[in-house]
Amino acid sequence: MDALCKPGSLVTVELRPPRIDLSGTEGISAWIDLHHTLGRLTRQELFVFLTDNAVGAAEEENLAHVGGNVGDSVELSRIVPILTCKHTLQYCETFAVRAASDGFESLTVLGGDVSVPPPRCVPHGRDLREILSSRVPSLTLGGWVNPHRSAEEQVAFINAPDANADYALSQIVSHHSTDAVERFLEESGRVESTKPVVFGVFYYRSANPLTLATLGDFFPVPAKEIVAEFDAGATPEEICASSIRELRAVGAEKIYISNLGERTAGRTLGRILDLV
Count the neighbouring beta carbons within 10 Å of the beta carbon of residue 245: 12
What is the number of domains present in the chain? 1
Residue 60 banded pLDDT, cuts 50, 70, 90: low
Amino acid at 120: R
pLDDT at 265: 93
Cα–Cα distance measured from residue 100 to residue 104, given in angstroms and rounded to the nearest whole number: 5
Please state which of the ranges 11-15, 102-106, 237-241 shows the lowest mean pLDDT: 102-106
pLDDT(250) > 70: yes
CATH of residue 78: 3.20.20.220
Full residue range of the structural domain in which residue 180 is found = 2-275
User: If 0-12 CB within 10 Å is exposed, 13-18 middle and 19+ buried, where does residue 227 land?
Assistant: middle
**61 or 145: which leads in pLDDT:** 145
pLDDT at 134 over 90: yes
